[in-house]
A and B are shown apart, each in its own frame.
Chain A
Amino acid sequence: MNILVQKFGGTSVDRPEHRALAARKVIQAREANFNPVVVVSAIGRAGAPYATDTLVKVLRDIDPQVPPAPREMDMMMACGEIISTVVFAHTLQTLGFKAVALSGGQAGIITDDVFGNARILEIRPNYLLELIAQGYIPVVCGFQGTTDPLASAEHGAITTLGRGGSDTTASALGVALGAVGVEIYTDVDGVKTADPSMVSAASTLDVCSYEEVAEIAHQGAKVVHPRAAEIAMDHNIPLWVKSTFSDKVGTRISSDAPTSTDARRLTGITHTGKLVYIRLEIENFEHKQQVEREVYRMMAKAGINIFLVTFSPTSLSFCVPRSRYPIARDLLDGMVVPVVGSASNIEGKQATYYIFKFSEGLDLAYSVQRPLLAGIEKFADIVDVPATVIESCTMVSVIAAGHRTVPGIISTIFDYLANAGIAVYQTADSEMSISFLIPESEVDRAVRLLHQRLFENQT
């Protein structure tokens, strides 16, 4: 049916003149003999009257002490896209086109019942296909679906897909409808080699692999949500990233782009996250693994994601998001991990109690708990686990497919940073990227420097 899915983000539909430009893209697709299926996000970004954040605030303001139930929260959050969809469908109707607004559920998007971060289970495209066959332009709410109306629990409840949900909707609809492609319209004209607000010389990539764009997105660039890229990749459907506000061709994302199996390829520089780096000194190598597990367990129970995990024989280091650091510190400070040995030590003690201690002023729980352990020192060793902290870190990443097969890339980048006097606290690497943990105050300089050396000097 020559279906083309076109997704428009919040800034593409926030004002009448922007909606007119977005509508023009849809009409151009129709004139080029495509059958467009439109997906829209909520109107505007935080602060705008119908933006998702604004709607959520209405609920939260009822009583800040009582968090809204996830089910009702999803119903509220879905309103932003419903309003946007109706407004956009009506815009197309006023221009003389047959358009119909559809909620996610009406478009056949069936999800699980994980409110706030639902996963698409299936799409029932019959109704959409019938509308298209009758000449309608369906305008579908992004970011939302519904639980199965026939399911015994939560039947037909509105769900939201979590971050990047509208991109996910577009990709999934593209797959379900057998579309020839999915166009993601935004306010930049494609996938950039760096954040253009930071690097004026950032260029637009003509073509990108799914893996690269997923990596770029995961490492902080807000172009296409990685879930959308993964769906497109798994089903081999071409994605385009284009600007609503220009006629530039944009970036094509497809499987025939260079991938990690090809030779070294540098795609971009990204930066992400306000991070805190925590280092724990655990001197007894024999007990270290058990103590580490309790750290992981504590972080997991508190819902804190840890990353950049690093071992040495006597230490464990990791990053936590800065927003979660106070909780992490409160949990770790004064935490006691008992390790019972299979045999008593030279002093006849059969256990070791490890107690975590942050630097002075941050060790309130330690200072209370440590004296309480004095009574068992006859029977057990009490060992401090000192914690040191580097606050205000961030991660700068170079997206470099194939770097692990080519010696020298990491060395080169490290030298660029070191020679510029930018401290590198830690590194991480995967098949597709190399990341450097640096002071947050240096992020602008690091991104500009790496872009200049790795991209601008190449052209």
Chain B
Amino acid sequence: MAFPTQTEPISGHQNVSFERERGVYAIEVMSGVSHAVIQVGEDAGRTGRISRVLSALAGAGVPVFLIKMHRDVVTLAFAGADTHTAIQTLSDNRLTADVRGELALVVVRAASMRDLHGIMVNIADALFDAGARLHETGDSHNSVQCLIEESRTDAAVESLCKKFELSPDAVSLSTLATGGAR
């Protein structure tokens, strides 16, 4: 049996977008986030104190995220609704903390983020142009998460959309409820 001949131009093929666009494709904004800077010192007890911070907040039922370890502090984020519980818990455990509320987590999504370079500088430029200071950042294979002041969210999103040529449809908004970030 002869092979069928390929018809050109081909018609009737499935018009499917197979792969995600390269680069940034969405921005998610989650408001209602608090951020804590907790003193843990630089001495030999640092690791134990970090452990105490995490276990105390876990014991109080406060889910935390964006945990970062610095020389003498550990920083983390949680739902604004958990702020009172978090402050009380840290205080009960004799941990010195500076807690800032009314922050928003702006999540910039891109396919294969770690295969791309230059995303971070574009995000930093966009946020700088919007007057939004980065309080903390996190990154994964498909996102860069930026913690900024809630009051700068609109300007930041506008600037990021402009920088990455995204339409408003690419932006989603939500409020972080107690129980942690998804």
Complex partner residue of A134 from B4, B116, B133, B135, CB under 8 angstroms: B4
- Whether, in the assembled complex, A215 has its beta carbon less than 8 Å from a beta carbon of chain B, the answer is yes
Q: Which residues of A contact B75 (CB under 8 A)?
A: 312
Q: Is the CB of A415 within 8 A of B51?
A: yes
Known contacts A408-B58, A411-B54, A426-B69; is A311 also within 8 Å of B134 by CB?
A: yes
B68 smallest CB distance to A (angstroms): 5
> In angstroms, how far is the closest chain B Cβ from the Cβ of A396?
15
- Complex contacts, A289 vs chain B, CB 8 Å: 124, 128, 133-134
Give which listed residue, B1, B73, B180, contacts A405 with CB less than 8 A: B180
Residue contact B18 to A122, C-beta cutoff 8 Å: yes
**Contacts of B65 on A, CB cut-off 8 Å?**
404, 429
Residues of B within 8 A of A176 (CB): 13-14, 16, 18
Residue ID in chain A nearest B120 by CB atoms: A296
- Whether B61 and A407, one on each chain, are in contact in the complex, defined by CB atoms closer than 8 angstroms, is yes
Total residue contacts A-B, CB cutoff 8 A: 192
A427 contacts B by Cβ under 8 Å:
yes
What sequence of 0s and 1s flags, for each residue 119-160 of chain A, a beta carbon within 8 Å of any chain B beta carbon?
A: 111111111001100101000000000000010000000000
Determine the distance from Cα of A178 to Cα of B14 in the docked complex, in whole angstroms.
Answer: 10
Question: Do A428 and B14 touch across chains, with their CB atoms under 8 A apart?
Answer: no
Cβ–Cβ contact A126 & B6, under 8 A: yes
Kindly list chain A residues whose C-beta atoms are within 8 Å of the C-beta of B10: 108, 124, 126-127
Closest to A423 in B: B47
A310, B68: Cβ atoms closer than 8 Å: yes
Q: Are B141 and A429 in contact (CB under 8 A)?
A: no
Least CB distance, B26 to chain A, in whole angstroms: 13
Q: Which residue of A lies closest to B179 (CB)?
A: A405
Which residue in A106, A304, A415, A433 is a CB contact (below 8 Å) of B55?
A415
CA–CA, A234 and B47, complex, Å: 42
Task: Tell me the complex Cα distance, A427–B115, Å.
Answer: 20
Contact code string A411-432 (vs B, CB < 8 Å = 1, else 0): 1101100100000111111111
| Chain B nearest CB, measured from A120 CB (Å) | 4
| Contact pattern, B 110-143, Cβ under 8 Å of A = 1, otherwise 0 | 0110111110110011001000011111111111
B94 at the interface (CB under 8 A from A): no
Whether A127 contacts B120 in the complex (CB less than 8 A), given A230-B111, A231-B18, comes out as: no
1/0 per position for A210-222, CB-CB distance to B under 8 A?
0000010011000
Q: Is the CB of A296 within 8 A of B124?
A: yes
Q: How far is the CA of A312 from the CA of B68 in the complex (A)?
A: 9
Which chain B residues numbered 74 to 92 have a C-beta less than 8 Å away from chain A? Answer: 75
| Cβ distance A232 to chain B, nearest Cβ, rounded Å | 11
Instruction: Indicate whether A406 reaches chain B with its CB closer than 8 angstroms.
Output: yes
Q: What's the Cα separation between A431 and B109 when bound, in Å?
A: 12
Q: For chain B residues 122-170, which have a beta carbon within 8 Å of chain A?
A: 124-125, 128, 133-145
Contact of B67 among A121, A307, A427 (CB under 8 A): A427
The docked-state distance in angstroms from the alpha carbon of A122 to that of B14 is 8
Take A172-B19, A310-B70, A427-B69 as given contacts and tell me if A303 and B117 are in contact as well, using a CB distance cutoff of 8 Å. yes
Tell me how far the C-beta of A233 lies from the nearest C-beta in chain B, rounded to whole angstroms: 10
Chain B contacts of A131 at CB under 8 A?
3-4
Residues of A within 8 A of B121 (CB): 293, 296-297, 299-300
Q: Which of A108, A235, A311 has the most CB of B within 10 A?
A: A311
B108: which A residues are within 8 A, CB to CB?
Answer: none
Closest to B181 in A: A404
**Cα-based distance from A226 to B69 in the complex (angstroms):** 29
Whether the pair A150, B9 counts as a contact (CB closer than 8 A) is yes
Contact at A130–B4, with CB atoms within 8 Å? yes
Complex CA distance for A248 and B67, rounded to whole angstroms: 40
Instruction: Say whether B24 faces chain A, with CB atoms less than 8 Å apart.
Output: no
User: Across the interface, which residues of B come within 8 angstroms of A312, CB to CB?
Assistant: 68, 70-71, 73, 75
Residue of B50, B55, B120, B128 with highest tally of chain A CB at under 10 A: B120
Cβ contacts under 8 Å, B29 to chain A: none
Within 8 A of B (CB), among A61-112: 98, 100, 106, 108
Contact at A424–B180, with CB atoms within 8 Å?
Answer: no
Residues of B within 8 A of A308 (CB): 139
A306: Cβ under 8 A from any B Cβ: yes
Complex Cα gap A409–B109 (Å): 25
* A411→B57 contact, CB < 8 A: yes
List B contacts of A122 (CB < 8 A): 13, 15-16, 18
* CB-based contact B120/A300 at 8 Å: yes
Known: A124-B13, A311-B136. A226 touches B141 (CB 8 A): yes
B55, A411: Cβ atoms closer than 8 Å: yes
**Additional A-B contact list (13), CB under 8 Å, known A136-B3, A411-B51, A418-B48:** A121-B18, A124-B10, A125-B13, A131-B4, A299-B117, A299-B120, A306-B117, A307-B139, A311-B134, A404-B181, A410-B58, A429-B65, A432-B140
Chain B residues proximal to chain A, CB less than 8 Å: 1, 3-4, 6-7, 9-10, 12-16, 18-20, 22, 47-48, 50-51, 54-55, 57-71, 73, 75, 111-112, 114-118, 120-121, 124-125, 128, 133-145, 179-182
In the complex, the 9 A-B pairs of residues with the closest C-beta atoms, listed nearest first: A430-B140, A300-B118, A408-B58, A296-B121, A411-B54, A218-B141, A130-B4, A124-B13, A404-B180
26 example contacts (A-B, Cβ-Cβ < 8 A) are as follows A124-B10, A131-B3, A131-B4, A150-B9, A289-B128, A289-B134, A296-B124, A299-B120, A300-B117, A307-B139, A309-B137, A309-B139, A312-B70, A404-B180, A404-B181, A407-B58, A407-B61, A407-B63, A407-B64, A410-B64, A412-B58, A415-B51, A418-B47, A429-B138, A430-B140, A430-B143
